[in-house]
Structure 1
Amino acid sequence: MDDALPPTTPPRHGSRDFRDVLTARTSRRNIVLGATIAAAHLALAPGAAALARPAGRRLRAAFRPVPASAADRVVVPAGHRTAVLAPWGAPLLPDGPRWRPDGGGSAADQARQIGSHHSGLRYLPLAGGAGGDRHGMLVIHHESVDPVLLHHREPGGGRAVTAARVAKGLAAQGVTAIEVRRGRDGTWHPVGSPRDARLTGTTPVVFSGPLATGHPALESTAEPVGTLSNSGHGATPWGTHLVCEENANGWFGTDDPRWRPTATERRYGLGALDHGHGWHRADPRFDLARSPGEPHRFGWIVEVDPLALDGRTPVKRTALGRFNHSAAAVGETGDGRVTVHSGDDQDGGYLYRFVGDRPWRRERAGGRSPLDHGVLQVARFDEDGTGRWLPLVHGRATLTAAYGWRDQADVVLRAREAADALGATRMDRPQQIVVDPRTGEVFAALANSAGGFGGDAGSRDANPYGHIIRMHDDPDGGTGLRWDVFVLGGDPAHDPSVRLGPSSAFGSPKGLHLDPAGVLWISTGVSPHSQHLAERGHENLGNNALLAADPATGEIRRFLTAPRGAEVTGVSSTPDGRTLFVNIQHPGSATAAWGAPTPTDPQAVSSWPDHRPDGRPRSATITVRRDDGGVVGG
């Protein structure tokens, strides 16, 4: 989503900013800070243990990087081709409601169509061996809506708030699952399967863990609950799928002049003005004064069955904590306990990890969810390249009744405040995280930061370009970790500490995907308010992009560029690596460089992917394949 969301400001409580840690670490080598953060990817501090890395390899030689672009189309290297597979508004099933280029259609129509603002993305093979390379399920997450583009061209232009428009906005979010197959000509198509299904903002869900269904903190004026602002994803070893709820706080507001936010509401970014959506004026569940418990029902990780999306009730797993989940990277400890890494997408947000109590197979055999029983932790980074996972457990450290913590349900509900109390390390907008099962390396994308996080104003530089860190956790599930910076984003023309060239420079890394060959795909989400602007240091970076990185050598090349106003979000691959699925999110959104869509001119910024005179831009999942059918990028 757009970077220009109001930040929430964590109190100090002894916490350190990651930039402080990084500065102290690199100062031993007399590395001078640039306009963003120190170039810690050049070397570790003296005495720090280097992270174990596999033997070096190079990216596939035939892949020539594409230049930065301002074009209103998807650009890929020569010898590759793209096709639109699953655009917003396409009917879920062959007999479903058709896409209306004029923005018409009801909430009921949208609930039977592919949702908007494509974000998380996962391909699941539906057959073994080569069959899984050409037949599978796509699970697509939908993060938000653009009211101007969502609704019909009429007076008010989608900006007037009505119950019908709120309902359509709820129907456009959630999750889409569609069965797809590759034809003999290499083109992928939806099958039109009984497995095809939608989750939306009104789908019935249940809660488990410390805050189970029926807990007083979850009381609200509305049922069913649904799921909103769905961003990153995860895959469990027992076959389920994890859905992240990210910036759901932006849908809430109030016009009640008597309402005053509590400390917890402020900490979770809740305010009377919401983020400009105004849903509270048409639906009381989004009115903070009338439904104070409703925000507590969002900001969780939701477990679903991807092959029976509308056949089994989704479960919000509250033991994983409540915050703006940007990822749900699942791994295992050496003794078979499940781990889930996640980040809190806010300026100064934390990195979290959940570790199961017992091996997940034993939990499942005993009829218990491995995601309901374990310890939620938050990361503290130290300047010697090590760190520690701090347990967010009621009764430990300062998380006691004497300090105002009632029980474990209170801890996970107010996970941000619990992390504040333990002095965790504030990060630069944590985004997606991946765990390499071959090496145990954990990569975490950090999008950017305005700096300061509310304290010592002006004492730290901003980080407008972001970076990616690499970590190793203790293999036995212990609390230790080691870390370094894999790559510092940015433009060397504005920051001499950046070690990227014209074919690899990027900003605001948000998405990460490890393909079957071990290539790390980096997707970017520079704000439309910064793209192409010299005054923001982005004139050389072009549209948002997808880059391929070699985790062993650090080599990076730009592979794909997106249309105007769009972000590149979710990426997934077939097992043979011959098809890459890529999500293009919100093309045509309001930009500083090209203007903004209006009810009478929805294509003011972009007309992708349809490019029809009477249409409007729309998010979509695309496929990328080589012309000769070989491995993508080869």
Structure 2
Amino acid sequence: MAFNRRAYFEDAENTPSNVDIKAPIGEIIAQRYSRRGFLKGMGYGGLGVAAIGAMNPLSAAIAAEGEASDRFGFDEIAHGVDTTHHVAAGHDADILIRWGDPLFAGAPAFNPHNQSADAQEQQFGYNNDYVGFVPLEGRFDHGLLVVNHEYTNEELMFPGLPGPQDEHDFTGITREMVEIEKAAHGLSVVEVKREGGKWHYVRDSRYNRRITPRSTAMTLSGPVAGHQRVRTSADAEGRRVIGTLNNCAGGTTPWGTILTCEENFHGYFLGDAEFHPEKDKLARYGVPGMSYAWGRFDSRFDIGQEPNEPNRFGWVVEIDPLDPTSTPIKRTALGRFKHEGAASVLTEDGRLAVYMGDDQRFDYVYKFVSRDVVDRADPAANRELLDHGTLYVARFDEDGTVTWLPLVHGEGPLTAENGFASQADVLIDTRLAADALGATPMDRPEDIEANPETGEVYVMLTNNDKRTGEQVDAVNPRGDNVFGHVLEIVTEGRHTATQNRWEVLVKCGDPARGEVGAMWNPATSENGWFASPDNCAVDARGRLWVTTDQGGNWPKSGTADGVWAMETQGERRGTGKMFFRVPVGAEMCGPCFTPDDTTLFVAVQHPAADGAEDFDGHQGRSSFETPATRWPDFEDGMPPRPSVVAITRQGGGVIG
């Protein structure tokens, strides 16, 4: 079977490892639409309650009102797929930094035909995902970007490979290629400035830094640090790890550090799990995934040689971007799973809550609440704050309540008799502990963001076509859920509470197709609906923006991924509006606003990778020599390059 790096990770996220899916909460008689009561889908997908496109009188009045209550003042763009990007009129979308751009004075210029690992460690990495902005000297036109580099697409990075690799074959992959891949992973910290209305990066800034799984030492902290299950031949004390892997989304703490999240770490390990001492535990995480050849050249990634190495990945890592000499820290108190994001919000009593999703079908939603209060006047006082607190997993009930179940050793089934000898075991095996507590299996929980203005928490549930009709429940209301939905947790500002409420904000997909079962405000236009919500951001005005990741499914929707504005309040609640669109084969990642909302940074990941064989005008899958697009350079011989884009309003002012 033809093998594509992006397709591999997409399949891994789509294939559940949670084999003990609980029975449905109960037969769904009436689905929850909105606490405001007016939100009706235009297509009901077999519910038999309304004809497609029907509106009640109130819905008709809302649609007729049109833009009167629109919080987003832009003319939306149209659905479509082509080789370049598009942004709403009145805005500019400029390439800020690309894969291979040099970060340091002595770094070589990018030459895709003559790459080296040493050069790549001095250049901007590959497949930019999460973007965080840290102001310098309190300025919103000058700061640091912290950017995750999630994974690499060998078939688009390297010339001369024999087409997309056969699965687990690795034909043509050399040691030097593996070292380049390692150097292209991790993170980049880069200083950026806005001058003359345009953003640029500062090549030789003292803040610039590359963090990679090839060379960057990190420490383990919290309950797992020093535990025998994280000790290796190179680290007999179990406290020092080289690098971070598959960094997807993230978050920013109130004291200015960045939380970067390790997601599909399983794919980097080779070996035979049959005789591994933790065979069943590895299986729950998909280890060994065997999608990279790294284990052929580096014993760390061969579970036969280093059986504990997988336990050292799957964590949230805290990084201080203002100190390029600082050591990143893996905060084990936040649990080990396939982290998509880590959204921080101050609680009602001044502590910190961190909301997180585990990005795999039928996995869970989590939150961590710190033991101690955040010291906003002294950032250094928060250095150990994320090492102490309580990790919870969510159970969503049919009556619209969400109960947060504590993952604490000795409570309930989390005992030595059930395989959890300590809190370290609970955290290393977070998924198994959540299974034991009866958490609710979800439709691929990806990014989660809290709205500090309203207290509401938005959960992006990307899709789940493995959910059958018998497994439908109130919070996951569709079987064969190809297009995903957005969930809203209503906290009323009580982030420390062990019980909140939940509602489905929208069910994604084209509402004009009744069989899809989409649910949108009828004011949503033919371009305002989207599919497969992935990342999101809440701007300083409390407005929600959603980015999408359809993977190879974009031909089913007929449109590329992008950024949509999303109404969450008032009469237009549940209305989408299309703002930005990526080139063919790309995923839309990392939406990040400057604090004054005058710039939106977005990350365009793996252009030309997804679904290229279905793109008109392109034959077969993309490769280095024949990509579906050469965005953003559009130069012969130059491959497509993942890039960060800076979106600004022409003439200045607030985005959207």
| Band of TM-score, shorter chain | 0.7 to 0.9
Q: Please give the residue correspondences for 1:303-342 in structure 2 after superposition, counting only pairs within 5 Å.
A: 303-308=318-323, 310-342=324-356
Q: Which residue of 1 aligns with 2:63?
A: none
Contact 1:22/1:38 (8 A) holds in 2: no
Q: Which residue of 2 aligns with 1:26?
A: 31
**Higher mean C-alpha displacement, 451-460 vs 468-477:** 451-460
Q: Which residue of 1 aligns with 2:153?
A: 146
Contact 2:190/2:201 (8 A) holds in 1: no
- TM-score (norm: length of structure 1): 0.88
Deviation of 1:27 (Å): 8.1
Is 1:596–2:611 an aligned residue pair? no
Residue aligned with 1:433, SS:
strand
Give 2:145's aligned amino acid.
L
Is 1:120–2:133 an aligned residue pair? no
- State the identity as a percent: 36
Following the alignment from structure 1 to structure 2, what is the Cα–Cα distance between the partners of residues 442 and 324?
20
Deviation of 1:232 (Å): 1.0
Following the alignment from structure 1 to structure 2, what is the Cα–Cα distance between the partners of residues 260 and 436?
43
Cα–Cα, structure 1 residues 420 and 86, in superposed 2: closer, same or farther, change >3 Å? same
Is 1:171–2:183 an aligned residue pair? yes
Following the alignment from structure 2 to structure 1, what is the Cα–Cα distance between the partners of residues 260 and 494?
26
Cα deviation per residue 1:585-612 (whole Å; 9 max; x = unaligned)? 00011524133223532x2x11100000
Contact 1:111/1:198 (8 A) holds in 2: yes
Q: Which runs of 5+ in 2 are unaligned?
A: 1-5, 55-67, 236-240
Following the alignment from structure 1 to structure 2, what is the Cα–Cα distance between the partners of residues 171 and 21?
49
Is 1:243–2:256 an aligned residue pair? no
Following the alignment from structure 1 to structure 2, what is the Cα–Cα distance between the partners of residues 443 and 328?
12
Deviation of 1:455 (Å): 8.6
Q: Which residue of 1 aligns with 2:485?
A: 467
Q: Which runs of 5+ in 1 are unaligned?
A: 43-55
Is 1:556–2:566 an aligned residue pair? no
**Higher mean C-alpha displacement, 362-371 vs 294-303:** 362-371
Q: Please give the residue correspondences for 1:195-594 in structure 2 after superposition, counting only pairs within 5 Å.
A: 195-202=207-214, 203-212=216-225, 214-222=226-234, 224-254=241-271, 262-271=279-288, 274-308=289-323, 310-361=324-375, 369-452=384-467, 461-473=479-491, 475=494, 477-492=496-511, 493=513, 494-499=515-520, 500-527=524-551, 529-532=552-555, 537-539=556-558, 542-552=559-569, 553-554=572-573, 555-591=575-611, 592-594=613-615
- TM-score (norm: length of structure 2): 0.85
Deviation of 1:143 (Å): 0.6
Residue aligned with 1:121, SS:
strand
Residue aligned with 1:345, SS:
coil
Give 2:466's aligned amino acid.
G
Cα–Cα, structure 1 residues 614 and 355, in superposed 2: closer, same or farther, change >3 Å? same
Deviation of 1:296 (Å): 0.5
Q: Please give the residue correspondences for 1:180-195 in structure 2 after superposition, counting only pairs within 5 Å.
A: 180-190=192-202, 192-195=204-207
Contact 1:36/1:464 (8 A) holds in 2: no
Cα deviation per residue 1:321-373 (whole Å; 9 max; x = unaligned)? 00000010111221111111100000011000111122133998878611111
Contact 1:357/1:374 (8 A) holds in 2: yes
Residue aligned with 1:193, SS:
coil
Q: Which residue of 1 aligns with 2:238?
A: none
Give 2:561's aligned amino acid.
N
Q: Please give the residue correspondences for 1:47-58 in structure 2 after superposition, counting only pairs within 5 Å.
A: 57-58=69-70
**Higher mean C-alpha displacement, 367-376 vs 457-466:** 457-466
Contact 1:161/1:281 (8 A) holds in 2: no
Cα–Cα, structure 1 residues 563 and 100, in superposed 2: closer, same or farther, change >3 Å? same
Give 2:406's aligned amino acid.
P
Is 1:627–2:650 an aligned residue pair? yes
Q: Which residue of 1 aligns with 2:60?
A: none
Cα deviation per residue 1:197-219 (whole Å; 9 max; x = unaligned)? 0111131000011111x321112
Following the alignment from structure 2 to structure 1, what is the Cα–Cα distance between the partners of residues 273 and 384?
41
Contact 2:189/2:210 (8 A) holds in 1: yes
Give 2:304's aligned amino acid.
A
Residue aligned with 1:232, SS:
strand
Following the alignment from structure 2 to structure 1, what is the Cα–Cα distance between the partners of residues 327 and 11?
34
Following the alignment from structure 1 to structure 2, what is the Cα–Cα distance between the partners of residues 547 and 430?
18
Contact 1:447/1:467 (8 A) holds in 2: yes
Contact 1:23/1:38 (8 A) holds in 2: no
Following the alignment from structure 2 to structure 1, what is the Cα–Cα distance between the partners of residues 418 and 267?
29
Deviation of 1:162 (Å): 2.7
Q: Which residue of 2 aligns with 1:48?
A: none
